[in-house]
Structure 1
């Protein structure tokens, strides 16, 4: 059990950090007494048509109507899957999350498709199958994932019947079923009132009651003591708020619930940096900043727009992080557990731009928009409906995006540098205990003509090991598989005290002392890693001083494509139609090229079957020295 407890703590990233600013932006807008005065009751805030308003749904769905119906028709014969006890136990036994998550996810997706189809058609054709899906969900012991259920007192993956867990998925399903209850209750009651009664009971016991009465969920941040908060906070809070808004009719109870969500989300907004960068990377922007948007929109709706912080610069910064982190051609700056590929949800980006009045985001959303099919966010029915609502505006927006020469996030310590000649370099300072952390303080990535040259591999498929005390045994998490040195043969170490210091950024350069990111056995006094860009090239420099030289320093760079090292002092990197040269001093270094075969689909779908680690091993061991590498477009 001790090992499972350690696993639990690692999973939830409940480690102490050193940054927290009590902004309390939401609570400054309204206390609980003020909320009681301004709440919009009885779902009068809902702008979508009632189920029986056929003309309203025809107008709202427009040309999407038939596609939602066709998608629902494919589910008419769907066989509802049972998530077995051994599916949950597989997470403990093998570390595989998918055995439990795949059938559960398939069921949830089917419910969403059937609901949208019935709202689109309105003839009752999908009602019976939708009832089957609802009852199937109600019969489950828990709506949380096996990987998340271990917050329960037993710390085991098989759900306890008397401890409802609110996690990302239970919240999403709660939101989906709350909307199902809102729209379909009259239709269900015509079949049998027990359907709605059972559904309302399950939503009360699985979402509403535990949210009000259980303050132990780490993501809530209640009784805050410095623990890390991440995308879970706005994600879970937005779902909880939505359920209360759709289900709770008592003014006092609703006011208390809304205020609890405000207190909780304030903890998240206090924890993250005011510069708006998402330390979890672009892949998590839709869950961190994006779910903050969802939450703030819902809060504005339920308070008649009386609680609204969209004019706060911090919120706009959070939104524009996603456009600033886009390189082009589908590539993004991918620190932490983010993928290097990611074009983003155009509807979500547009909604954010509209909320904070950002033409940058609106234009970027239009650039990302690929109107191949109707909006579909799976079990997140709120986003599906919100996407439909802005579709016309988005389609009428002019696409535009540009890489700015210099973007600097001074608190998160992300720096983006670009040139007119098509070079883009991203570097980071930070510390090795960030959310979804990799040991990567001081690393960089380089693109040329919107093509990655020096890369961050990203992260593989999530397993039990990913969020456990074994996390840093995974190669993708280690600094020696990032664009960083091994000092005296020692890589960076995990922990909040291991960080970049003396971080500086200018319009063409970035530098940091990364000695402080290494443990004592590295015996390093100072190691200044610096980057400078000009025209078609970037210079990467290391200036160091060691307490003692005990082993050769090794400077690693990660890359992909075709590698040619036939000429001394030069490595040719050929990716697609882009060719670059990495220049180094052959008198100082011995080069080793290590192929890294990618047998994980989450990595190989981005990089192909193989990436490479270029390891430059110093031929001499010295206490002081300078290294320099130049990468330039050919």
Structure 2
């Protein structure tokens, strides 16, 4: 069907599908599902469930691209396996089972979460592009797909409005556009009753509008860059579908703050695959994102820098793992297919006052990022006032980012995890106390200029009177702190310490550059600690160890300077 389009992408998809066919299908087992309640492990079930969705999506794409019966049969096998799963909900979200004191999902009481929405999306887009082939090869499968999507997703969406992600009685986050977009596809492509389709579409528009209205006017994302792809970018895809099915009558692209939201990835890019990360965001996320979504977004607003941000990644293939609907829309996007690879636009300085994020770059390869905010943000870490320092795009004073999710991750025990505590961010312990979680713990009196951010951090701690931080980038990065009382500075480091002496530390960055950290030599060497990184997600970014520099401050002022150094 699309064999003439982007031969490299077609070859990559077919190669992936062919490799899959030599492997057994993933199995989703109750014993793995139950581990969430037994020992807190989520990945034992979520990984094979995700692999089943990925493999099915790849097979659907291969069948659509070639119309070959072998690929159609492979796609049908995957679609049926999805239909036969007892539950599409991930264990961590299965509050219905938890309320019953059970570990098995009940088919008569389906929970509409991300997993259910993701699965329905695959069935919906598969039906759209493979309907004749499925009817010819596996008659009856499409009826089963409609039944399962209807009872697990469409009816719960219409009849139960208690879902927390609707935002009717609480905060809004990435679940809202992520699920709404998939429910829309399920209704449009799988629901036979036009009245039901209309009712779903009306509720989806209402839900997306609620999310859009709640977004900050500056185009920031408090969940960070990695979650931007599953929040604002999911919103953009849903709006794209609505725009197509209404033949442009919906006209959503003029709504604020869509134009600003599209600029967020370029504003937080460090280069070479690294990004300014906050909260549960990775500093080095998978680069193979659906960049065509951003490119279309930029075209809608005639924004050359947004289009350039996307086109800087034009050489990456369209990945089925990013979503079947995303992949299919990318394959038919002729403007994306013919876009020339561009240079990555990196703004000299940005200040997002609503999410309180500041990023500045200088001509010698240094980048400073610092956040204000509060400690009740989505995916919160206790990190008000924390900063990142990068040399030649590579972070050296870091935010660790997202650990592998477990039962602790979103529980009342969240802050038992070392990576979310303030003592493992680049902020001090003041008067013996770390920052606390909660919206009351926040930055105040922020003053931004082109190359600096000053902020009052007294309110981020239980007791830190007079604590003020000023972060500046000129020929070097300078962090100046003043407070009343005692403080112990913490600086989290990626790379290899090379030389450590009073007032000075040389670090070889992960990219091989040399960063020099200096402070008042009268404060001594500080204590350089090494910590093993035993989490696979974190190790994939930072390697097997990270370091922390701990400096006891006896005065009321502290300055840390970071500049390019020389190898000893």
TM exceeding 0.5: yes
Q: How far has the Cα of 1:612 moved from its partner?
A: 0.9
Give the corresponding residue for 1:526: 466
Could you tell me how far 1:174 is from its partner in structure 2? 0.5
Q: Which runs of structure 2 are paired with 1:377-396 in the superposition (5 Å)? A: 377-378=320-321, 380-390=323-333, 393-396=336-339
Confirm or deny that 1:559 pairs with 2:493. Answer: yes
Worse overlay, 557-566 or 425-434: 557-566
- Offset at 1:366? 1.8
Cα–Cα, structure 1 residues 421 and 65, in superposed 2: closer, same or farther, change >3 Å?
Answer: closer
Aligned residues: 561
Distance 1:596 1:81 in 2: 35
1:220 is the counterpart of 2:220: no
Verify: 1:339 aligned to 2:282, yes or no: yes
Report the Cα offset of residue 154 of structure 1. 3.0
Contact 1:365/1:394 (CA < 8 Å) preserved in 2? Answer: no
2:100 is equivalent to residue 139 of structure 1: no
Asked if 1:605 is matched to 2:536, the reply is no
C-alpha contact 1:540 1:629 (8 A) present in aligned 2: yes
2:100 is aligned, of 151, 154, 158, to 154
Assess if the C-alpha contact under 8 Å between 1:68 and 1:120 holds in 2.
no
**Contact preservation (8 Å) 2:6, 2:337:** no
Q: Does structure 2 retain, via aligned residues, the 8 Å contact 1:340–1:458?
A: yes
> Is the Cα–Cα contact under 8 Å of residues 598 and 604 in structure 1 kept in the other structure?
yes
Shift of the 456–76 alpha-carbon distance from structure 1 to 2, 3 Å rule, reads closer
Deviations 1:1-50 (A, max 9, x none): xxxxxxxxxxxxxxxxxxxxxxxxxxxxxxxxxxxxxxxxxxxxxxxxxx
- The verdict on how the C-alpha distance between 1:352 and 1:504 changes in structure 2, with shifts beyond 3 A counting, is same
Q: Secondary structure at the match of 2:333?
A: helix
Q: 1:379 & 1:524 partners in 2: Cα distance?
A: 44
Of residues 442, 458, 462 in structure 2, which corresponds to 1:499? 442
Residue 17 of structure 1 corresponds to none
Rate the CA distance shift 1:358–1:61 in 2: closer, same or farther, 3 A: same
**Aligned residue in 1 for 2:49:** 104
Conserved in 2, the CA contact under 8 Å of 1:339 and 1:459?
Answer: yes
Q: Is 2:228 the partner of 1:294? A: no
C-alpha contact (below 8 Å) 2:54/2:320 kept by paired residues: no
**1:390-405 alignment runs, 5 A limit:** 390=333, 393-405=336-348
Are 2:180 and 1:203 aligned?
no
User: Which digits, 9 at most, give the CA deviation of each residue in 1:192-249, with x for residues without a partner?
Assistant: 543222221111111111111111111112xx23x22111110000000111111234
Structure 1: distance between partners of 2:190 and 2:339: 36
Contact kept? 1:61, 1:120, Cα under 8 Å: no
Could you say which residue in structure 2 is the equivalent of 1:117? Answer: 62
Deviation by residue 1:122-157 (Cα, 9 ceiling, x = unmatched): 132233333332222222121121122225553754
Cα 1:391/1:338, change in 2 over 3 Å: farther
Whether the aligned pair in 2 keeps the contact of 1:444 and 1:483 (CA below 8 Å) is: yes
- In 2, the alpha carbon distance for the partners of 1:628 and 1:125 equals 65
Partner of 1:615: 550
> Secondary structure of 1:327's partner?
strand
What do the CA deviations read for 1:100-127 (whole angstroms, capped 9, x no partner)? 1222222222221221222222132233
Query: Residue 215 of structure 1: SS of its match in structure 2?
Result: coil
Is the 2:502–2:524 contact (alpha carbons within 8 Å) kept by the matching residues of 1?
no
Distance 1:409 1:154 in 2: 44
* Superposition deviation, residue 454 in structure 1: 1.3
Are positions 1:574 and 2:490 aligned together? Answer: no
Query: Contact 1:366/1:395 (CA < 8 Å) preserved in 2?
Result: no
- In structure 1, the gaps of 5 or more residues are 1-53
| Mapping for residues 157-196 of structure 1, pairs under 5 Å | 157-191=103-137, 193-196=139-142
Deviation at 1:77, TM superposition (A): 5.2
Q: Report the CA distance shift for 1:344/1:117 in structure 2 as closer, same or farther (over 3 A).
A: closer
How big is the shift at 1:65?
A: 4.0
Preserved CA contact (<8 Å) 1:108 1:379: no
**2: distance between equivalents of 1:449 and 1:309?**
39
**Residue equivalent to 1:358:** 303
CA-to-partner distance for each residue in 1:47-88, whole Å, 9 max, x for gaps? xxxxxxx4xx33446554454444333344553344222221
Structure 2 unmatched ranges of 5 or more: none
| TM-score of the superposed pair, with normalisation by structure 1 | 0.84
* 3-state SS of 2:459 partner: helix
Q: What RMSD, in angstroms, separates the aligned Cα atoms of the two structures?
A: 2.1
Instruction: Please give the alpha-carbon distance, in whole angstroms, between the structure 1 residues aligned to 2:80 and 2:500.
Output: 66
1:94 to 33, 39, 46: 39
**How far apart in 2 are the matches of 1:156 and 1:317?**
45
State which drifts further: 72-81 or 378-387.
Answer: 72-81
What is the CA distance between 1:604 and its match in structure 2? 1.5
Secondary structure of the equivalent of 1:125? helix
Of 18, 26, 30, the match for 1:73: 18
Answer whether contact 1:509 1:533 (CA < 8 A) is retained: yes
Q: Select between 69-78 and 450-459 the one with higher mean Cα deviation.
A: 69-78
Shift of 1:426: 0.5
1:324, 1:151 → 2: CA distance?
A: 40
- Is the Cα–Cα contact under 8 Å of residues 362 and 397 in structure 1 kept in the other structure? no
Q: Find the residue that maps to 2:257 and give its secondary structure.
A: helix
- Please say if residues 362 and 394 of structure 1, whose CA atoms lie closer than 8 Å, have aligned partners that are also in contact: no
Q: TM-score, normalised by structure 2?
A: 0.93
| Alpha carbons 1:428, 1:444 under 8 Å: kept | yes
Distance in 2, Cα, partners of 1:155 & 1:271: 35
1:584 and 2:506 aligned? no
Whole-Å Cα distance in 1 between the matches of residues 15 and 474 of structure 2?
53
| Alignment of structure 1 residues 409-428 onto 2, 5 Å | 409-428=352-371
**Counterpart in the other structure of 1:348:** 293
Q: Give the Cα separation in 2 of the matches to 1:192 and 1:456.
A: 50
* Cα pair distance change 1:430/1:63, threshold 3 Å: closer
Contact kept, 8 Å, 2:63 with 2:69, in 1: the verdict is yes
Cα separation, 2, equivalents of 1:399 and 1:190: 44
